[in-house]
């Protein structure tokens, strides 16, 4: 099954920001496009707005004047649904209410031919439910574009329970012909991006609620150590706290209130107070005139240790050993398998976050995961009230000698980046195990949909087969609410290469 022919008319119903964006994508690709909106005159206004954006593309040299004029000639407002007769594809981008979408598609079935592809751009509703009342449900599919549609490359092509393979394939190939990067996805709450991305927000909020660190510090660690483009607090302020929380609640309810998708009480209070982010002037941060952005916690300079003793290597943080030597710090390596840690001159230990807490041990400082320890500009450390000041100072001085800013947070198991990445990896494995998507499509979706520095499976391979499982298992023991319980899929993945007994005993 191939993409729609460029001569085939495409219709978009709903002319808000997303509807206009989808229409522009189809129009620039070469299709005749018809716009419809239930509000009189709105379709004409949308056509004019699209024309103005085409003018700007010409000014920027991204579109020729001839191509713009041809596109304008293919764009037609439709005053009623009957004007969409003969279209080969109709994409809906109306309000996110199930009954509204169902009524629209039932009406469309009376207008378009039976071979017309019908698509919803819903981000939170079940594709199966939206198309469930149709006379020909097999031609119904989800085409979830990301805002702004003309700029962002990802499109989630979602197959409902009744969607024909031929319909999903045609939608996929059409999106690709439009210059987009489509990923195939089964109809699951949140689809791919909104399902797997929940821990990025949830774990940042959980660390804040546990008084482990303030928003500015958590955001800085996610950016400067984790390699994420934005921190969770600044990103949700940009998205809108009400919008982000609504998606979280929708996914949580759709998964029958699964603890792994639980909303944040702190975010709920923010929404209730009307602090919705940039659009209201206040969110986690203050955006009003004259307001200053709070700085992340950064430790004062400390003297680096003269040497460290490496016991068993540092696993994913092994690059630190070479970096320490380059900084003039002696590294004494012991062959004995005593774990993966550094022993400092004062006798204290430094270990990579593993889901346990500092308070459990005599004198331990944990450090957080980094995407790339050489490139990271900030590292978080955690210590308990019982950790000796000397150990914390030596750990701080060590990372400062490596050129890093240091943020000391509370004794939070799994810290910030480590617990976030482990949970993202877990949800990704579960999605693939349940047939939602392929590993390749999951990685593509998370890189292009939310700009993650690595896809979950690429990150998993870099960290090691059992890293995420071991961290979450330890976290679950310390916080057995169900939020951190590793999935069966992750358990199988972590133990797949282990030596097994011949039979249970």
DSSP codes joined into one string, 428-440:
HHHHHHTTS--HH
For residue 329, how many other CB atoms are within 10 A of its CB? 18
- Looking at residue 500, its pLDDT comes to 54
Terminal CA-CA length for the chain: 53
For residue 6, how many other CB atoms are within 10 A of its CB? 13
Question: In angstroms, how far is CA 473 from the centroid of its own chain?
Answer: 23
Asked if 392 and 318 count as a contact pair (C-beta separation under 8 A), the reply is no
Asked if 120 and 131 count as a contact pair (C-beta separation under 8 A), the reply is yes
- Looking at residue 480, its pLDDT comes to 96
The pTM for the full model equals 0.95
Dist. CA 274–CA 272, nearest whole Å: 5
* C-alpha pair distances (Å), 48 with each of 23, 45, 70: 12, 5, 15
Task: Determine phi and psi for 408, rounding to 5 degrees.
Answer: -95, 120
H helix or E strand, kind and range, residue 395? helix 389-401
Relative to beta strand 364-367, strand 378-382 is: antiparallel
Half-sphere exposure of 448 (CA within 13 A, CB side): 21
Dist. CA 108–CA 134, nearest whole Å: 10
Dist. CA 441–CA 445, nearest whole Å: 6
Would you state the torsion angle of the CA atoms of residues 387, 392, 395, 401, taken in this order, to the nearest 10 degrees?
A: 180
Q: Is 351 helix (H, G, I), strand (E, B) or coil?
A: strand
- Looking at residue 133, its pLDDT comes to 84
Question: Which stretches of 283-421 are assigned E, i.e. beta strand?
Answer: 307-311, 330-334, 341-343, 349-352, 364-367, 378-382, 405-409
DSSP string, 446-477: HHHHH--SS-HHHHHHHH-TTHHHHHHHHHHH
Dist. CA 357–CA 418, nearest whole Å: 13
* C-alpha pair distances (Å), 318 with each of 221, 360, 462, 481: 20, 24, 12, 32
Catalytic residues: 123, 144, 156, 194
H helix or E strand, kind and range, residue 24? helix 17-29
Dist. CA 271–CA 134, nearest whole Å: 37
In the chain (505 residues long), the average pLDDT of successive 10-residue segments reads 93 96 98 96 96 96 96 96 97 95 96 96 95 94 96 97 97 98 97 97 98 98 98 97 95 96 97 98 97 96 97 90 96 74 95 96 96 98 95 98 98 98 98 98 97 97 96 97 97 79 51
Peptide bond connecting 148 to the previous residue in cis, omega within 30 degrees of 0: yes
By C-alpha distance, which of 464, 445, 462 is closest to 371?
462
Which residues 6+ apart lie within 8 Å of 505 measured at CB? none
Which residues 6+ apart lie within 8 Å of 7 measured at CB? 32
By C-alpha distance, which of 419, 372, 381, 384 is closest to 400?
381
Task: Determine phi and psi for 434, rounding to 5 degrees.
Answer: -95, 10
Would you state the torsion angle of the CA atoms of residues 384, 385, 389, 395, taken in this order, to the nearest 10 degrees?
A: 10
Note the helical H segments in 132-273. Answer: 165-177, 193-196, 198-209, 215-224, 232-239, 241-254, 265-272
Structure tokens of 447?
């890189």
- Looking at residue 505, its pLDDT comes to 45
State the DSSP code for 485. Answer: P
* C-alpha pair distances (Å), 382 with each of 26, 167, 385: 51, 52, 10
By C-alpha distance, which of 303, 341, 308, 340 is closest to 323?
308
């Amino acid at each position: 099954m191939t993409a729609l022919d460029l001569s085939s008319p495409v219709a978009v119903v709903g002319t808000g920001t997303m509807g206009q964006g989808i229409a522009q994508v189809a129009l620039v690709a070469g299709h005749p496009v018809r716009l419809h909106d239930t509000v009189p005159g709105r379709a004409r206004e949308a056509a004019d707005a699209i024309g103005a954006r085409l003018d700007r593309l010409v000014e920027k040299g991204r579109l020729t004047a001839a191509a713009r004029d041809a596109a304008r000639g293919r764009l037609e407002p439709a005053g009623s649904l009957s004007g969409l007769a003969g279209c080969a594809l109709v994409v809906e981008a109306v309000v996110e209410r199930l009954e509204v979408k169902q009524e629209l598609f039932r009406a469309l079935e009376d207008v378009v031919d039976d071979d017309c592809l019908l698509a919803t751009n819903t981000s939170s509703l079940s594709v199966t439910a939206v198309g469930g009342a149709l006379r020909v449900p097999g031609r119904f599919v989800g085409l979830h574009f990301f805002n702004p549609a003309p700029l962002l490359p990802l499109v989630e092509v979602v197959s409902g329970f009744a969607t024909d393979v031929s319909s999903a394939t045609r939608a996929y190939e059409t999106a690709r012909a439009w210059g987009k990067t489509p990923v195939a996805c089964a109809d699951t709450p949140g689809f791919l991006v909104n399902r797997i991305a929940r821990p990025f927000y949830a774990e940042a909020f959980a660390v804040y609620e546990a008084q482990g660190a303030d928003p500015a510090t958590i955001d800085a660690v996610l950016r400067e150590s984790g390699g994420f483009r934005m921190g969770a607090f600044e990103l949700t302020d940009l998205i809108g706290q009400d919008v982000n929380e609504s998606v979280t609640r929708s996914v949580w309810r759709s998964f029958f209130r699964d603890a792994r998708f639980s909303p944040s009480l702190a975010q709920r209070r923010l929404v209730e107070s009307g602090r919705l982010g940039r659009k209201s002037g206040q969110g986690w941060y203050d955006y009003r005139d004259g307001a200053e952005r709070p700085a992340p916690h950064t430790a004062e300079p400390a003297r680096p240790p003269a040497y460290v003793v490496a016991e068993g290597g540092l696993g994913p943080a092994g690059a630190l050993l070479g970096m320490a030597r380059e900084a003039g710090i002696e590294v004494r390596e012991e062959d004995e398998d005593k774990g993966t840690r550094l022993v400092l001159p004062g006798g204290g230990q430094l270990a990579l976050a593993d889901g346990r807490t500092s308070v459990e041990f005599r004198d331990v400082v944990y450090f957080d995961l980094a995407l790339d320890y050489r490139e990271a500009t900030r590292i978080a450390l955690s210590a308990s009230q019982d950790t000796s000041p000397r150990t914390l100072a030596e750990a701080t001085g060590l990372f400062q000698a490596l050129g890093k800013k240091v943020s000391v947070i509370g004794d939070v198991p799994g810290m910030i980046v480590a617990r976030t990445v482990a949970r993202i990896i877990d949800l990704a494995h579960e999605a693939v195990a349940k047939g939602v998507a392929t590993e390749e499509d999951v990685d593509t979706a998370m890189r292009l949909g939310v700009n993650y520095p690595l896809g979950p499976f690429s990150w998993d391979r870099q960290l090691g087969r059992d890293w995420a499982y071991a961290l979450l298992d330890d976290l679950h023991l310390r916080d057995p609410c169900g939020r951190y319980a590793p999935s069966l899929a992750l358990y199988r993945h972590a133990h797949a290469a282990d030596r097994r007994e011949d039979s249970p005993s």
